[in-house]
Amino acid sequence: MTTDFPQPTDEALGFSRALDKRIREEMDDAGGWIGFERYMELALYEPGLGYYSGGSTKFGPAGDFVTAPELSGLFGSALADQVAPLLSQLEKPLILELGAGTGTLAADILESLSKTQAPPQYWILELSADLRRRQQSRLSSYGDNVCWLDRLPDQPFEGVILANEVVDALPVSCFIKRANAAFPLGVRLVDGDFAWAEGDSDPRLSEAVELLEASLGYTLPEGFRSEIRLGLSAWIQTLSAVMARGAMLIVDYGLVRREYYHADRNQGTLLCHYKHLAHANPFLYPGLQDIGAWVDFSAVADAAVGADAEVSGFTTQTQFLLESEALRQLSMPSLGQLQGLKTLVLPGEMGERFKLILLSRGLREAELPGRDFRDRL
């Protein structure tokens, strides 16, 4: 199973084996099968062992994948230009970033904003102790302007919430259509290894897929496999509850509902990354690889409306960056800057796969640069 992948260090393999044992114990307690949503939650977030809560290097050349902020400072500058007019409408503006990676995006945003105004308060909610240490080192020059949270604030605040490549890592429930019904796909042991296995009918999942099909206007075909984020609405609702006034900007790879659940996309969108190798095996080295699924932006929009927020903009990363003030001000870019920009905007790279959706509450003006694709949601 692992011959085509780089071998982890003995230390990393020890953590993976400990998480493997933890998952097996939960499977035993559950009768030998757990839903994929629970497996993904354990693999990514089990305290001290999961991919995002453990200590492995995740971003950059030594990690498993590269995010937009790591490719070019233009991305952070463009986001700063986007949030500046939103913050200006608030009495005590602040930015809350969910999962700040290496701190590169926060540094780029703060540096860009500080050229024209006093840097705002910048809060970071980070689950990984290792990443928090790296962020604190990277952002030490901003002193008390930056603080770290262990959980969402208890009291609602005015500000902008940033979620860059966060939603794709929220656990998904996988399903398959059989006999005109949706059945959960989960995990059991086959010959001693984790393997896909169908489970018994789940009323919550069945209802969600039925509502999905009603929205699509057609029934998904026999054998169709995909995934759905049953917890997405609650996640949006929770974030909305702490945002008394302001905006939420979500950036991620994803599709609108009709493209996500198109008949030709009949194996879902689940994608794993290990040492910059993209693959489809979520059972490889638990805790040492990223597991994600594309974002259904139509579901994000529906959840926002249900949480009393306005969908103020939806566009592609290409449109956003090419129409940004940061790009217009970029003069004499270096070869490295050009290479990063190409990856960010070309359709075959990140440009069309990544989208931005802006959700707002109580703001006079809130929009995204570039062509508006809200009519596709």
**Long-range contacts, 341-345 (Cβ 8 Å, 24+):** 341/72, 341/74, 343/71, 344/68, 344/71, 344/72, 344/74, 344/75, 344/317, 345/317, 345/318, 345/321
Per-residue pLDDT at 55 exceeds 70: no
CA 171 to chain centre: 10
CB 279 within 8 A of CB 237: no
Rg (CA), the chain: 21
Other beta carbons less than 10 A from residue 211's beta carbon = 12
**pLDDT per position as a tens digit, 197-237:** 999 999 999 999 999 999 999 999 999 999 999 999 999 99
Residues 6+ apart with CB under 8 A from 3: none
DSSP 350-373: TTTTEEEEEEEES-S----SS---
pLDDT at 293 over 50: yes
Mean pLDDT of the chain: 92
Give φ, ψ of 324 to 5 degrees. Answer: -80, 150
Q: Strand 277-279 vs strand 271-274: parallel, antiparallel, or unpaired?
A: antiparallel
What pLDDT sits at residue 129?
A: 85
Percent of the chain with pLDDT over 70: 94
The answer to whether 360 touches 310, Cβ cutoff 8 Å, is: yes
Q: Per the structure block, which two tokens stand in for 269?
A: 């969108």
- How do residues 238-269 score in pLDDT, each as one tens digit? 999 999 999 999 999 999 999 999 999 999 99
Under a CB-based contact definition with an 8 Å cutoff, are residues 43 and 50 in contact?
yes
Tell me, what's the pLDDT at 348?
Answer: 81
CA separation for the pair 156, 141 (Å, rounded): 28
- Which of 241, 246, 277 is CA-nearest to residue 2? 277
Q: Rounded to an integer, what distance in angstroms lies between the CA atom of residue 144 and that of residue 186? A: 45
First to last CA, the chain: 39
Q: How confident is the model over 56-110, as pLDDT tens digits?
A: 555 455 554 578 888 888 899 999 999 999 999 999 899 999 999 999 999 999 9
Helix (H, G, I), strand (E, B) or coil at 224: coil
Model-wide pTM > 0.85: yes
d(CA 62, CA 66): 10
Mean pLDDT along residues 301-310:
97
Q: Is the Cβ–Cβ distance between 274 and 5 less than 8 Å?
A: yes
Pairing of strands 146-149, 121-125: parallel
